[in-house]
Structure formats: structure tokens, C-alpha cells
Amino acid sequence: MGERGAGQGAPASSGPSGPASSEATAGTVLAGYLHAQAAEFLRSLRLHRESGSDAEDATEASRLLRRSARRIAGTLHVYRPLTDVDWTDPLRAELLWLSDTLGREHAHAARLARLRGALHRLSGAEGPMGQTGAGASGARAAGRGGYGDGGGMTVGAARAGALLERQLTLARTRAHSAALQALGSSRFHAVADAAAVLASELPLDPAAHDLLAREALPCLAEQAHRRLTDAADALPLSVAGHPYNAEALTHGLAAVPAPDAPPAEGRQDAPWHQVRRLVRLRRYAQEVLDEHVASEAEPTLSVRLLGANQALDRHRDAAEAAAAASAAARTPRIAPATAYALGVLHADQRHEVEAARYAFGRIWQRLAVPTA
Amino acid sequence: MGERGAGQGAPASSGPSGPASSEATAGTVLAGYLHAQAAEFLRSLRLHRESGSDAEDATEASRLLRRSARRIAGTLHVYRPLTDVDWTDPLRAELLWLSDTLGREHAHAARLARLRGALHRLSGAEGPMGQTGAGASGARAAGRGGYGDGGGMTVGAARAGALLERQLTLARTRAHSAALQALGSSRFHAVADAAAVLASELPLDPAAHDLLAREALPCLAEQAHRRLTDAADALPLSVAGHPYNAEALTHGLAAVPAPDAPPAEGRQDAPWHQVRRLVRLRRYAQEVLDEHVASEAEPTLSVRLLGANQALDRHRDAAEAAAAASAAARTPRIAPATAYALGVLHADQRHEVEAARYAFGRIWQRLAVPTA
């Protein structure tokens, strides 16, 4: 990891190449983007070290660290043919490991907040999270009027909330320890060293040195787009496009063939999670392109990719929250009322999964047309 | 009930008055419709008596009996000012009692079938009832592919099904006995006598004798339409028009302020149930109009009213099925897994409630425009 091919690096570039550089090489543009992200990575790491016991600062630093790690890894993935893959492939894998390890604590905290919000909402009070956009929420609050708002939770719902609180807080604490351990490991220090290299120099493939940015980069971004399109077209979008198709809960009460088999809902969700990853790669690919030619940038595309990404993030979050609710319901010796509330919660989150698919389908319709 | 004002009856008319009768009186046209419905009522009653031990024939006869009872009562409601209200008001109340008493057995059976279908569907196999229209169902079946179809139910779902089966079969048996008792009562015989009168003569209000059908009937139908429009406009349709607004489950886990207080979801549903009744009245009003002037009939309106009615029937059925699932979950000493499955089922049916509101909202948009 610390080693790299000598003499193949592109020089550091301090910022966007600007519209004048139509003769810029692909290596220069890509390096410019990666230098900036690597610098961001190192800055976040410093922030994290300096945050000390301030949990909020540490959370924000960790978020920024994961953000740049994902962007570096994604960019190295899309523009892989331009880089020295002996050096970049291992770095990419290590960045994904890091982002995953650091992200778990946040994921458990966010899951708990989502489930707490849902329990609150299902008890007739508006949850802290607007689930369907500000417009719908506003209309909802106005339309509901006096239907016993704030009537309080059932005993089962309160107990379900306490159970989830215990289980997810425990998981979060474990993830926190694991993240701290990872940040102190020699494995992490090797990643940080590689990021320091990347902040000043990008090891390129020798054959890619003279490729023009305006030719090579859009071509590779287009390939990423095609992988995304192929995967999205394989999704059951015609079903998802019918509101209230009741598809996401189809396996809510399905028995698994063996105790260690994955839940059927997970199998149904997997292709959507895969598209989520491909949307993300496509977004990062676009960020590199936008860096290069700010004037030709297509803001609509970036905005739609972001929208698609957010819908699929919501899809994943709701799917994992639903799984957490049904896992909690398998806790031994819980009261029937608690189990009932967890069943309602599970179905509610699967409903959110379905809503996210519907939202993605609508965004995708508009995304897919201009490139067809 | 058996008495009626002498000499006020309109003569029997054997069928539609035909397009030529533009000078027909309102009394003649209304009487024509009611004669036909009363004859239908008496025929269904005979069918029911002759059905003996054939449960299927008895069910069908009961359905036809309720169908004509509802139409007579609804028509007498909308066109009340034309009739001798001293005679028609009590008959109307008795017909509603009869339709309600006879309908309960069917309602319990249908509720059980709906919940059984939902449990089946939630276990990854296609339920016997297409819940979102044939198109979506077809696409669903095609789109799902091999996601573990027919994997079977969880133990909790199977037990929840057995519990619902027991409870709703018991309720159905009780409703069956109550219906048989009602059909043998002197109260029922008085209704049958009144229907026999109505089959040949409609007691009219003296002031209504000379009103022209083409003037009086549309005016009263329009009043029924206005009552419907006012009630529908008061519904939170702007919320319901956003798919996945998560509104119907808003009180899924809300505590009731007192043990004997109605569930919060019932309060939320009540205005929709009221609109359902008004749609029904408007439909029957239209049937009388269509009888009168077949050539001027507006088939689109009738079709849309029927669609709106069906959406709101589905709304009521799903709301009552959801209530049955949560009532079953309050059975003492059930296993947590059973309660969990009932929670999922409850949320699923509330999801159906929301879907029905969405469907009604879309139909209503098209219904409301031409009369605005």
C-alpha cells in the first residue's frame, strides 16, 4: 500500500482546471479531483483527532472522513483504467473497509432515530422526521385537524421503543468501539499514508498519460452510466410505479426455509441496493466531469442523480429499520403487546421501502430519458 | 307500516317510461323505479325461502334482498319530498335495519376472506384477492420472478390466521342466527307487507302529483349531489392525493384515552364512511334518472360513481379488517409471534385503507370537475 510506481504521478493541481483547459489531460483532471478529496480526507482525520471527547465534533469529522473516502474509492472505481491499478485497487478496497467500519455507529444511531420517529408518528403525533417531503407533511398536519393528536402511545409501543433503544444502543456502542479500534490500527495508518500520497500525486497508468480529458473521462462516465442503466432496467419498476402495489411487504410473514437462511425481504431488496451503489458511482463520476468543464456541466443531471441516490438511501434505511424491528420481535419473553407494536412498525417501514421505490421510479423515468 | 294514505298512489308502471315520455310526471317515474325494486325485493325473499338448506342460494338471495332494500331506502331518501313521508319514512328506517341485520353475516365472512388473503399474500404467495387491480397484479406476478414464492407462512402468521378464523367464524354464526331470527319476526313481515304495497303503488305527497319528471327529479338528484360534494370537499383529499402519505396508520399505535373510547382510527375514518353513504345515495338517485331518460343518460357519471363507491367500499372493508386484526391481538395469552403477525396484518390493512383513499381521490377529481 505504501509503495507506488515511481515517476508515473500526475503533478498536483490546486483546483478545477477551468473552462479554458480544453486540452487538459484526463490524468490532470482526475488527479485534481482526487488531490482535493484526499486533502479533505486528511483534514477530516485531523478534525477527528482534535475532537477529543466532543461527540458532536467527532460525529461530524467521521461523516466528512467517510464522505471523502467514498468519493476517492468511487472515483478510482469509475476511472480505474486511467490509474496504476496495482496501487489504486488495494487502496480502494481499504477505503471501503474504512468507510464501512466508521459508518456503522452512525447507521445504528440513525436507525434508532428513524424507528423512534416512526413510533411517535404511529401514535398520532407528528414524528421528528418528515417522511414524505415538506409539502405533504404540511398538508398532513393541516388536514388532520383534531384527530386526537398527542394521545400518547400504547403500552406495547412504549415497550417496543424501549426494547429497540436497548438493542440499538448496544449495537451502536459496539460499533463505536470497533471504529476507535480501527482508527488506531496499523491498517488504518497505511490508508492515511496512501491518502497523503494521493493529496499530491496520482499514480497513473503509463498508457493514460496523454489521453485528453474531454475524450477519456466522459467515455468512462458513460460506461458507469450504462452499468447503472442496465441494473435499473432490471428492477421491477413497472410494479413500483403503481402506488400502493403492496409489493415491499410481500414477504413480511414468509417463513425462511432454514433458520440461517437470509430473510426473503433481503433477497427482494438486494437489486435495489445494488442500483443504489451504481447511482453513487455515477454521481462521483459526474463530479469529476463537472470539475473539468464547469461551463458544460449539466446541473439537472447532478440534481436528479442526487435525488435518485437519496430515494435509494431512504430505501436502504427503511429496509434495515424494518429488519431491526422484526429482529427485536424475536427477542425471547417479550409481551404480546410489544410484539404487536413491532409488527406494526415492521410493516410501516416496509411501506416506506415501497414509497422509496416509487419515488426512485419517478426520478429514474426523468433520468433515463435524456440518455436513451 | 301496513297503513297508507288512500288515493294518493301513482299507478303501477311496468318498466322505464322511455324517451318519448318527456311529459311524464315525477311520481310516475319514481313509482316505476320503486315498483321494479320492490318486485325484486319480493322475488329475492321468495328465493331465500326456497333456498332451504342450500347455503350458496341463500347467500345469493340475501345479497339480492339487501340490494333492493338499499335501493328502495336510498331512493325514498333522495326523492323524499315527492313521497308521503308518513308512510315512507318508517319504511326507510325498517329497510335499513333489515339490510344491516342481513348484511352482517356476509360482512364477517368477507372480512375473514380478506384477512386470510392478506396473510397468504404477506407470506410471499399471491393472495386470492387482487388488491390493486388486474393490471398491477399481473405486473406484480411477472415482476417478482423467483423471490421465494410459496415459501410458506411463519408460525405466528399461521396461528394468527387460526385465531382470526375462530373469532370471525363465531361472529358469523351469531350473525347468521340473528338474521334468521329477524326474517321470522313480525317486524320483518311488516316490511315485506310494505314492499308488496310498493310493488304496485307508491304513496305520493299530494303536492307532488303534477310535477314533471324532467324538472323535479334532476333537481332532487342535484341536491343529493351537492350534499356529496360538500362532504367530499371536507375530506383531507390533498393529503390522500400524495401516494404513500402514511396517514391511515397515523393512529396505529395511539393509546385511547379511556378503555371504552372509540379507537382513534375510527374517528379518522368516519368522514370517509359518511361520503361512502352519500355516494351510494347519489348512485341510486342517478338510477332513477337513467330510468326516465335513457337517451340523455350520462354513462360516464354512473361509471365514475360506481368506481367511487367501490373505492370507498374497499376503504370500509379494509378499515374493519384492520380493526378485527387489532381486536384479535388483544386476545389474552396469545404468543408474541401471533401478536407480531397481527400487527403486520393490521398495518397492511391500514395501508389498504390509504390506498383506497388515494383511489377515491383520483376518481373524485374527475367526478367533481364536470359539475363544478
Domain that holds residue A361: 25-130+152-197+210-245+263-371
The answer to whether the CB atoms of A132 and B352 lie below 8 A apart is no
A261 to chain B, any CB pair closer than 8 A? The answer is no
**pLDDT reported for residue B325:** 97
What span, in angstroms and rounded, lies between the C-alpha atoms of B16 and B29?
8
CB A18 within 8 A of CB A32: no
**pLDDT reported for residue A17:** 43
Question: Per the domain annotation, does A2 fall within a domain?
Answer: no
Nearest residue, CB atoms, B253 vs list A119, A147, A352: A119
Question: Per the domain annotation, does A14 fall within a domain?
Answer: no
B257 to chain A, any CB pair closer than 8 A? The answer is yes
**CB pairs below 8 Å between A and B: how many?**
242
**How does DSSP classify residue B12?**
P
Q: Which chain B residue lies closest to A235 (C-alpha atoms)?
A: B143
B344 to chain A, any CB pair closer than 8 A? The answer is yes
Q: Which chain B residue lies closest to A134 (C-alpha atoms)?
A: B245
CB B243 within 8 A of CB A132: no
What span, in angstroms and rounded, lies between the C-alpha atoms of B249 and A140?
13
Nearest residue, CB atoms, B148 vs list A123, A267, A344: A267
Cell of A64: 466528512
Q: Which residues of B touch A329 (CB under 8 A)?
A: 336-337, 340
The burial class, CB within 10 Å (0-12 / 13-18 / 19+), for B352 is: buried
- Range 112-151 of B in CB contact (< 8 A) with A: 119, 121-124, 131-132, 135-136, 139-140, 143-145, 147-148, 151
Q: Which amino acid is at B257?
A: P
**Least confident window among A169-178, A279-288, B205-214:** B205-214
Question: Per the domain annotation, does B55 fall within a domain?
Answer: yes
Nearest Cα to A251, choosing from A273, A271, A266? A266
What span, in angstroms and rounded, lies between the C-alpha atoms of B42 and A254?
48
CB B342 within 8 A of CB B329: yes
Cell of B320: 374493519
**pLDDT reported for residue A149:** 39
- Does an H or E element contain B316, and which? helix B299-329
What span, in angstroms and rounded, lies between the C-alpha atoms of B363 and A78?
47
B314 to chain A, any CB pair closer than 8 A? The answer is no
Q: Which residue has the higher pLDDT, A144 or B112?
A: B112
Nearest residue, CB atoms, B236 vs list A143, A244, A354: A143
The answer to whether the CB atoms of A238 and B348 lie below 8 A apart is no
**pLDDT reported for residue A367:** 83
Torsion of CA A340, A344, A346, A351, to 10 degrees: 160
Q: Which residue has the higher pLDDT, B126 or A372?
A: B126
What span, in angstroms and rounded, lies between the C-alpha atoms of A361 and A305?
12
**pLDDT reported for residue B345:** 97
A368 to chain B, any CB pair closer than 8 A? The answer is no
Q: How far is CA A324 from CA A114, A330, B119, B254, in A?
A: 11, 10, 21, 21
pLDDT, tens only, A16-26? 444 446 788 99
For residue A300, pLDDT over 80 is answered with yes
Nearest residue, CB atoms, B238 vs list A143, A253, A355: A143
The answer to whether the CB atoms of A346 and B342 lie below 8 A apart is no
Quote the percentage of chain A above a pLDDT of 90: 72
Q: Which residue has the higher pLDDT, A367 or B88?
A: B88
Q: Which residues of B touch A249 (CB under 8 A)?
A: 122, 344, 348, 351
pLDDT, tens only, A116-159? 999 999 998 653 333 333 333 333 333 333 333 345 889 999 99
Question: Per the domain annotation, does B341 fall within a domain?
Answer: yes
Q: Which chain B residue lies closest to A133 (C-alpha atoms)?
A: B245
pLDDT, tens only, B242-259? 999 999 998 889 887 776
- The 3-class secondary structure across chain A, one letter per residue, is CCCCCCCCEECCCCCCCCCCCCCCEHHHHHHHHHHHHHHHHHHHHHHHHHHCCCHHHHHHHHHHHHHHHHHHHHHHHHCHHHECHHHHHHHHHHHHHHHHHHHHHHHHHHHHHHHHHHHHHHCCCCCCCCCCHHHHHHHHHHHHCCCCCCCCECHHHHHHHHHHHHHHHHHHHHHHHHHHHHHCCHHHHHHHHHHHHHCCCEEECHHHCCCEHHHHHHHHHHHHHHHHHHHHHCCCHHHHCCCCCCCCCCCCCECCCCCCCCCHHHHHHHHHHHHHHHHHHHHHHHHHHHHHCCCCCCHHHHHHHHHHHHHHHHHHHHHHHHHHHHHHHCCCCCCHHHHHHHHHHHHHHHHHHHHHHHHHHHHHHHHHHHHC
A180 to chain B, any CB pair closer than 8 A? The answer is no
What mean pLDDT comes out for the span B49-60?
88
Q: Which chain B residue lies closest to A352 (C-alpha atoms)?
A: B244
Q: Which residue has the higher pLDDT, A260 or B94?
A: B94
**Least Cα separation, residue B107 to chain A (angstroms):** 23
What span, in angstroms and rounded, lies between the C-alpha atoms of B244 and A360?
13
pLDDT, tens only, B187-213? 999 999 999 999 999 999 998 888 999
Question: Per the domain annotation, does A116 fall within a domain?
Answer: yes
For residue B238, pLDDT over 60 is answered with yes
B327 to chain A, any CB pair closer than 8 A? The answer is no
Longest CA span, chain A? 72
Domain count along chain A: 1
**pLDDT reported for residue B151:** 54
Confidence of residue B296 (pLDDT cuts 50, 70, 90): low
**pLDDT reported for residue A102:** 96
**Least confident window among A179-193, A297-311, B322-336:** A297-311
Mutation to test the A interface, candidates B114, B253, B326, B333, most A Cβ within 10 Å: B253
Q: Helix, strand, or coil here: B153?
A: strand
The answer to whether the CB atoms of A358 and B243 lie below 8 A apart is yes
Nearest residue, CB atoms, B249 vs list A156, A253, A348: A348
**pLDDT reported for residue A296:** 55
The answer to whether the CB atoms of A124 and B344 lie below 8 A apart is no
What span, in angstroms and rounded, lies between the C-alpha atoms of A315 and A318?
5
Question: Per the domain annotation, does A13 fall within a domain?
Answer: no
CB A359 within 8 A of CB A315: no
pLDDT, tens only, A8-57? 455 444 444 444 467 889 999 999 999 999 999 999 999 999 987 888 99
Confidence of residue B290 (pLDDT cuts 50, 70, 90): confident
Confidence of residue B352 (pLDDT cuts 50, 70, 90): very high
Query: B36: domain CATH number?
Result: 1.40.20.10
Cell of A56: 458532536
**pLDDT reported for residue A259:** 67
pLDDT, tens only, A245-277? 999 998 889 887 776 677 788 889 999 999 999
What mean pLDDT comes out for the span A203-228?
93
For residue A368, pLDDT over 80 is answered with no
Q: Which residues of A touch B254 (CB under 8 A)?
A: 122-124, 148, 151-154
**Least Cα separation, residue B175 to chain A (angstroms):** 28
The answer to whether the CB atoms of A351 and B156 lie below 8 A apart is no
**pLDDT reported for residue B299:** 74
Nearest Cα to B120, choosing from B129, B133, B107? B129
**pLDDT reported for residue A263:** 77
The answer to whether the CB atoms of A151 and B256 lie below 8 A apart is yes
CB A240 within 8 A of CB A358: yes
Question: Per the domain annotation, does A10 fall within a domain?
Answer: no
CB A338 within 8 A of CB B253: no
Nearest residue, CB atoms, B253 vs list A153, A326, A354: A153
What mean pLDDT comes out for the span A59-63?
94
Q: Which residues of B touch A136 (CB under 8 A)?
A: 239, 242, 245
Instruction: Calculate the average pLDDT of chain A.
Output: 86
What span, in angstroms and rounded, lies between the C-alpha atoms of A165 and B203?
69
The burial class, CB within 10 Å (0-12 / 13-18 / 19+), for B135 is: exposed
Question: Per the domain annotation, does B16 fall within a domain?
Answer: no
Position of cell 482526487?
A: A34
Q: Which residues of A touch B270 (CB under 8 A)?
A: none
A347 to chain B, any CB pair closer than 8 A? The answer is yes
What span, in angstroms and rounded, lies between the C-alpha atoms of B255 and A119?
12
Q: Which residue has the higher pLDDT, B216 or B22?
A: B216
The answer to whether the CB atoms of A354 and B121 lie below 8 A apart is no
Nearest residue, CB atoms, B254 vs list A123, A136, A342: A123
Q: Which residues of B touch A347 (CB under 8 A)?
A: 343-344, 346-348, 351
**pLDDT reported for residue A137:** 38
- Provide the b/e sequence for A233-257 (b: ≥16 CB within 10 Å): eebbbbbbbbbbbbbbbbbbbbbbe
